[in-house]
């Protein structure tokens, strides 16, 4: 594996991937840990926080609201300011590439009695924000921006929020979390109905810190305000979405065997494990425990088993939404057809992931067809090295790197700096485990 410059990498095929490793901290949980610690009554000590571009954006935005941070070895201390202690920022808040930062902050800012403007990078400024702004306006927040106030940059004048009873049009953890954060600032209840289960890290962390969260009927989430959040220690598990690239690489490698330690296995995220097992991969979940309200386990995977294609459809998508890129790669090497449907949300991520996957994997000779809401992949055919682009999307870059390990000849992946969004050190780790 030769790293030519900051922007591209050349990868050669590999037969083996072996070792025992820890994944970087879970990105979704890290964002929530930073935000909820900032609102806690005292100093919160966070261990295992993801240090990457996306979480850095959240941290910098919080700093602009007056929150202080202190590094203490491998821990981060967050000086919580309580629910009412944030300050008006004196400049734009920059969410960078992070949809989670943008959407969760819209909810947080809606609750603040001050004016703020939130923006993001070129990709984020094209991503839909109406799904968050609409219910927040219903709660009484004033939010203005381009295209009828649906795209960043968005100006928020918050405060005095009303309770809300709201049915989410899409199963989105970001929308749900934005409304729960805003809900901390109402005088009553926030009652949400999800069309399908999305990741529940916000609910779990709020409950863990003493938030008044009630589970209603299936799909119903209720937050009763007011409350205050306790300054309890937070330990962040490894990111299953980052582990996914290594699970697939090891499952595909003739000599693959990995132990990934202390990975988050929240059932709203484990679709990747279920699908790999259904495809015939040897994946085991070991040493289950609970850490700060989140299920955590070690993951063991062994390669060399024949895989078969599967059908992945709408109800499963929220449980593996970020893993579709690497699952598409697994499908290339599985016998028969894999059909992914009900995944239109992937067009609204850091890139249009359905289009990016079809375009780039076709360059490698893959038989992959784009559907309006999914992909059809004919597996079991030879894949050739090619010059591919990340489309500026971290998960596309890492999925292509996994495909490259099992292609004939060398593959160049361009635009790999984007990997720092969620997984700095990805290529170094991949290199050391496949050496």
Residues marked active site are found at 322
Residues 111 and 35: their CA atoms lie apart, in Å, by 13
To 5 degrees, how large is the angle CA 311–CA 176–CA 164?
135
- Does 411 interact with ligand S3P (rule: CB under 6 A)? no
Residues 241 and 252: their CA atoms lie apart, in Å, by 17
Q: Between residues 247 and 433, which has the closer beta carbon with respect to ligand S3P? A: 247
Distance of closest approach, residue 200 Cβ to ligand S3P, in angstroms:
10
Cα 298 vs. chain centroid, distance in angstroms? Answer: 20
Q: Name, in order, each residue with C-beta under 8 angstroms of 302's C-beta and a sequence gap of 6 or more.
A: 250, 251, 256, 257, 282
Nearest CA to 63 out of 84, 90, 40, 44 is that of: 90
- Does 200 interact with ligand S3P (rule: CB under 6 A)? no
Q: Token match 């596309």: residue?
A: 396
- Does 172 interact with ligand S3P (rule: CB under 6 A)? yes
Nearest CA to 64 out of 105, 99, 33, 29 is that of: 105
Among 37, 198, 411, 434, binds ligand S3P (CB under 6 A): 198
Distance of closest approach, residue 343 Cβ to ligand S3P, in angstroms:
11
* 50: three-class secondary structure by DSSP: coil
Nearest CA to 86 out of 195, 181, 224, 221 is that of: 181
Q: Token match 């593996």: residue?
A: 320
Q: Between residues 177 and 266, which has the closer beta carbon with respect to ligand S3P? A: 177
Which window, 2-10, 143-151, 166-174, 399-407, contacts ligand S3P (CB under 6 A)? 166-174
Q: Between residues 112 and 172, which has the closer beta carbon with respect to ligand S3P? A: 172
Among 100, 101, 242, 418, binds ligand S3P (CB under 6 A): 100
Q: Between residues 14 and 235, which has the closer beta carbon with respect to ligand S3P? A: 235
Distance of closest approach, residue 67 Cβ to ligand S3P, in angstroms:
19
- Does 97 interact with ligand S3P (rule: CB under 6 A)? no
Q: Between residues 199 and 391, which has the closer beta carbon with respect to ligand S3P? A: 199
Contact letters for ligand S3P, residues 223-262 (x by CB under 6 A): ----------------------------------------
- Does 174 interact with ligand S3P (rule: CB under 6 A)? yes
Site residue total, ligand S3P (CB under 6 A): 11
Distance of closest approach, residue 376 Cβ to ligand S3P, in angstroms:
22
DSSP per residue, 199-222: --HHHHHHHHTT--EEE-STTEEE
- Does 133 interact with ligand S3P (rule: CB under 6 A)? no
Q: Name, in order, each residue with C-beta under 8 angstroms of 420's C-beta and a sequence gap of 6 or more.
A: 52, 53, 394
Contact letters for ligand S3P, residues 5-44 (x by CB under 6 A): -----------------------x--x-------------
First-to-last C-alpha distance (Å) of the chain: 9
Strand ranges across the sheet with 16-22: 16-22, 255-264, 294-302, 282-291
Q: Between residues 8 and 393, which has the closer beta carbon with respect to ligand S3P? A: 393
Q: What is the DSSP letter of 387?
A: E
Distances (CA, A) of 148 to 115, 153, 157: 19, 12, 16
- 370 neighbors 355 (Cβ within 8 angstroms): yes
Among 322, 323, 352, 393, binds ligand S3P (CB under 6 A): 322
Which window, 157-165, 167-175, 308-316, 329-337, contacts ligand S3P (CB under 6 A)? 167-175
Residues 118 and 153: their CA atoms lie apart, in Å, by 5
Beta bridge partners of 387: 412
Contact letters for ligand S3P, residues 41-80 (x by CB under 6 A): ----------------------------------------
Q: Between residues 239 and 261, which has the closer beta carbon with respect to ligand S3P? A: 239
Among 321, 324, 386, 416, binds ligand S3P (CB under 6 A): 321
Q: What is the DSSP letter of 346?
A: G
Distance of closest approach, residue 32 Cβ to ligand S3P, in angstroms:
8
Residue with the shortest CB distance to ligand S3P: 28
The CA radius of gyration of the chain, in Å to the nearest whole number, is 21
Q: Name, in order, each residue with C-beta under 8 angstroms of 189's C-beta and a sequence gap of 6 or more.
A: 163, 165, 183, 222, 223, 224, 225
Distance of closest approach, residue 419 Cβ to ligand S3P, in angstroms:
15
- 361 neighbors 327 (Cβ within 8 angstroms): no
Interface ranges with ligand S3P (CB under 6 A)? 28, 31, 100, 172-174, 177, 198-199, 321-322
């Amino acid at each position: 594996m030769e790293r030519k410059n900051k922007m591209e990498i050349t990868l050669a095929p590999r037969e083996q991937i072996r070792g025992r490793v820890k994944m970087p901290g879970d990105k979704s949980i890290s964002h929530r840990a930073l935000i909820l610690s900032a609102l806690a009554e005292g100093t919160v000590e966070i261990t295992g926080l993801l240090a990457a571009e996306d979480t850095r954006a959240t941290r910098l935005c919080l700093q602009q609201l007056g929150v202080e941070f202190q590094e203490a070895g491998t821990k981060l201390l967050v000086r919580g300011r309580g629910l009412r202690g944030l300050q008006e920022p004196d400049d734009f808040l920059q969410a960078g590439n992070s949809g989670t930062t943008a959407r969760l902050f819209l909810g947080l800012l809606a609750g603040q009695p001050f004016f703020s403007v939130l923006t993001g990078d070129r990709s984020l400024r094209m991503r839909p924000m109406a799904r968050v702004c609409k219910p927040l306006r219903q709660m009484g927040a004033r939010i203005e921006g381009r295209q009828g106030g649906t795209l960043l940059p968005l100006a928020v004048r918050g405060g005095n929020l009303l309770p809300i009873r709201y049915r989410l049009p899409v199963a989105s953890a970001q929308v749900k979390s934005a409304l729960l954060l805003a809900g901390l600032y109402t005088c009553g209840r926030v009652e949400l109905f999800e069309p399908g289960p999305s990741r529940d890290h916000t609910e779990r962390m709020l409950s863990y810190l003493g938030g008044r969260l009630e589970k209603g009927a299936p799909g119903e989430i209720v937050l009763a305000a007011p409350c205050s959040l306790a300054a309890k220690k937070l330990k962040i598990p490894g990111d299953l979405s980052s582990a996914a690239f290594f699970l697939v690489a090891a499952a595909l490698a003739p000599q693959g065997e990995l132990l990934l330690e202390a990975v988050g296995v929240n059932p709203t995220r484990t679709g990747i494990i279920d699908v790999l097992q259904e495809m015939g991969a040897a994946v085991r979940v070991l040493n289950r425990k609970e850490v700060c309200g989140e299920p955590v386990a070690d993951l063991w995977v062994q390669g060399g088993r024949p895989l078969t294609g599967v059908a992945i459809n709408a109800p499963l998508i929220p449980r593996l939404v970020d893993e579709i890129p690497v699952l598409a790669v697994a499908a290339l090497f599985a016998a028969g057809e894999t059909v992914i449907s009900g995944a239109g949300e992937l067009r609204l991520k850091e890139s249009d992931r359905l289009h990016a996957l079809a375009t780039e994997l076709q360059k490698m000779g893959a038989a992959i067809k784009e559907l309006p809401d999914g992909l059809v992949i004919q597996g079991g055919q030879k894949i050739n090295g090619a010059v591919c682009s990340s489309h500026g999307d971290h998960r596309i870059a890492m999925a292509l790197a996994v495909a490259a390990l099992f292609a004939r000849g060398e593959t160049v992946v361009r635009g790999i700096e984007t990997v720092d969004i969620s997984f700095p050190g990805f290529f170094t780790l991949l290199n050391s485990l496949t050496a």
